[in-house]
Structure 1
């Protein structure tokens, strides 16, 4: 039973043979199977791997000699990254692997992000890296369900410290391959963005209402990585419709906060997925609470959400900038878009009398939206707050209309 699970073990077997072999031994010792892939360029492994470096380079439409002759390790590893990603996907599609683990320093981690990014949600992906959790890793390149562990003390050679990390990772990827419930999408899925219920609470009413209509609902925490996962799945066509009601990551990207990448709020549109959009928390920029506030945000009213995250208020002119950025992104959509504009406020702290209420700033944003919204986007002004019941009723009315018209498919 469990012995049928095969894990792809990838890395530079010319320089990391001992470490990769140790990973493989632990997986086999737990009853799993291993398929090895060599992504090195200059050297050769002690024992031939199941997938050779020559095969990896050829899968990228190149050759190992081209990689060597480039004389540049960055160029060479991009060739190997592209080839390993294509081969990993082909191996998974053929049913030959059930999970993947990649080991490396900065070079290996760069490649690992390509390889893991080629595999769909639900395929266990583990990266053992000397730069795990580092700000070196851009959120737009991190797959939605990748797992990482720091390769502590493992830059060169085996020792008791790095074995602790390697053995945990080997057991984790095999255990995940045995236990994972791969998404079956038996019911159509609605992808929604939000924050916790103390800030935005529309999902409390919308989720059961949509489920009663025969849809599953996945709510993504829009704090950088959550938005990246949302975009990745939207672009892959995982959603019958999206309710992107917390696009704060657009503001974050513009003003140096917790970004989900330049592509935030674009993937659903490119995939022609019907979009319902609202500006939840558009007026705030989240940044790391235990670090010094970005220079551009100093002197602002702030809300310390917890020890990890602090939100800074945007000024009226900056809110106009956000409105234009949102409209530019929605203008590229090839599917239908409805934008809901709650003129009473867009997060719980922004209510009249709230600690971050700014009537002038809210009015500036609404004014800019009215003027900048593309003709292809249906603008619905709502005389309510985003956390009011009236907001949810307007959203459900639009959803039902699109459902009846066949815009949203069951």
Structure 2
């Protein structure tokens, strides 16, 4: 309980008092601290364990180059690259168990680069004045990042600031003590879905894949879930992916903030990870329910899922656009790729008799997929619904075939 070491990072030239308080809180709870300075112009009033010069050098640059650039954006990217290289090295050497970064927009920009270099399951925290802000692009957020709002902390210590920093100290040290980073062993399958009320294939597929010796992680495809899925797929964390809810791609195409970013449906293909893909809930675009509705959705049927999410039902033209977006992303894949197209529908609410049943809209999507599916993807047109057993049977048939051919490890 007393041997965990936390890397505390920030601009020690301007935030040494706040960083010092954070360090003292960790140490008072029995933790150890390694300090790293990522400032550029000034020098810390007290020595640190890893200097800004060490950080810049780790990024194949120097503090002088950062200064000479005359561009604060360029300078922070130099330090971000160096901090990322440094934290990866420190963790590989077994010198740290977790990391926490303190900053405003500049420090947070750097922190996103730095913490993305740490493996999944290693605690990574940002105490930021812009925590949870829409300024943060989903594609830059590590899958297991934790954020704490640095309330009242823009300049100097005060009661509000101390409360935030003390909680952050307890959070990162507690996480380091409790952490169980994934161990290499049982191969992992990545799957995307929404809740069982709309998509049910995971109920059948999860135990079947487990019987085959695989562990299954199901990601909630509501923006950040898809981002985490893509992040891990690109890192090669999965033996295979069952990417059966690609709705986030449509969200991105239509400009929704409920997005996993423009790289959705590319991570597995880029890493040559075998992928079986299906367009679960492709016909819906989710938007932030408490914001003013974009005029582009005028005239479309809508449903308030809750106070956070409102869904718009795409017309035939919108569905064709989403189909083309699928094909554009799949064309980039460098590994085995299969696309399952359930011609009976892709969500519980589009079955005959259900409120979103739209024969013409479904046909428009299916026809566009068939016409534009890239040559590197095997298209399987299925006479069933995505929630039917026949859909799961086909997915497992492809999976078993790829295993027999040696495409899937494990």
The interval holding the TM-score normalised by the smaller chain is over 0.9
Is 2:175 the counterpart of 1:176? yes
Q: Distance in 2 between matches of 1:284 and 1:106?
A: 34
Q: Distance in 1 between matches of 2:101 and 2:263?
A: 26
Is 2:382 the counterpart of 1:346? no
1:11: which partner in 2?
10
1:90: which partner in 2?
89
Q: Distance in 2 between matches of 1:19 and 1:298?
A: 49
Is 2:337 the counterpart of 1:331? no
1:262-301 matched pairs, under 5 angstroms:
262-301=262-301
Q: Distance in 2 between matches of 1:89 and 1:379?
A: 40
1:54: which partner in 2?
53
1:232-381 matched pairs, under 5 angstroms:
232-257=231-256, 258-381=258-381
Deviation at 1:298, TM superposition (A): 2.4
Q: Distance in 1 between matches of 2:87 and 2:296?
A: 43
Q: Distance in 1 between matches of 2:318 and 2:50?
A: 52
2:36: which partner in 1?
37
Q: Distance in 2 between matches of 1:43 and 1:3?
A: 33
Q: Distance in 2 between matches of 1:261 and 1:61?
A: 29
Deviation at 1:192, TM superposition (A): 0.3
Deviation at 1:299, TM superposition (A): 2.3
Does the aligned pair in 2 maintain the 1:231–1:266 contact within 8 Å? yes
Does the aligned pair in 2 maintain the 1:6–1:98 contact within 8 Å? yes
Q: Distance in 2 between matches of 1:406 and 1:366?
A: 31
Structure 1: gaps (5+ residues): none
Deviation at 1:356, TM superposition (A): 1.5
Deviation at 1:409, TM superposition (A): 1.6
Is 2:136 the counterpart of 1:140? no
Is 2:63 the counterpart of 1:64? yes
Deviation string 1:88-125 (CA, Å, 9 cap, x unpaired) is 11101110000000001111111111111111101100
Q: Distance in 1 between matches of 2:46 and 2:295?
A: 53
Does the aligned pair in 2 maintain the 1:57–1:64 contact within 8 Å? yes
Is 2:124 the counterpart of 1:128? no
TM-score of the aligned structures, taking structure 2 as reference length: 0.98
TM-score of the aligned structures, taking structure 1 as reference length: 0.98
Q: Secondary structure at the match of 1:327?
A: helix
Does the aligned pair in 2 maintain the 1:126–1:148 contact within 8 Å? yes
Deviation at 1:218, TM superposition (A): 0.3
Q: Distance in 1 between matches of 2:284 and 2:206?
A: 25
Taking only aligned residues, the RMSD between alpha carbons, in angstroms, comes to 0.9
Deviation string 1:144-174 (CA, Å, 9 cap, x unpaired) is 1010011111100000101111000111101
Deviation string 1:40-84 (CA, Å, 9 cap, x unpaired) is 011111111111011111111111011111222111111111110
Q: Distance in 1 between matches of 2:280 and 2:382?
A: 13
Runs of 4+ in 1 over 2 A off after TM superposition: none
Q: Secondary structure at the match of 1:217?
A: strand
Q: Distance in 2 between matches of 1:81 and 1:295?
A: 39
1:105: which partner in 2?
104
Q: Secondary structure at the match of 1:90?
A: helix
Q: Distance in 2 between matches of 1:175 and 1:295?
A: 46
Q: Distance in 1 between matches of 2:409 and 2:340?
A: 21
Q: Distance in 1 between matches of 2:207 and 2:184?
A: 17
Deviation at 1:267, TM superposition (A): 1.1
1:154: which partner in 2?
153
Q: Secondary structure at the match of 1:8?
A: strand
Q: Secondary structure at the match of 2:404?
A: helix
1:214: which partner in 2?
213
Deviation at 1:185, TM superposition (A): 3.4
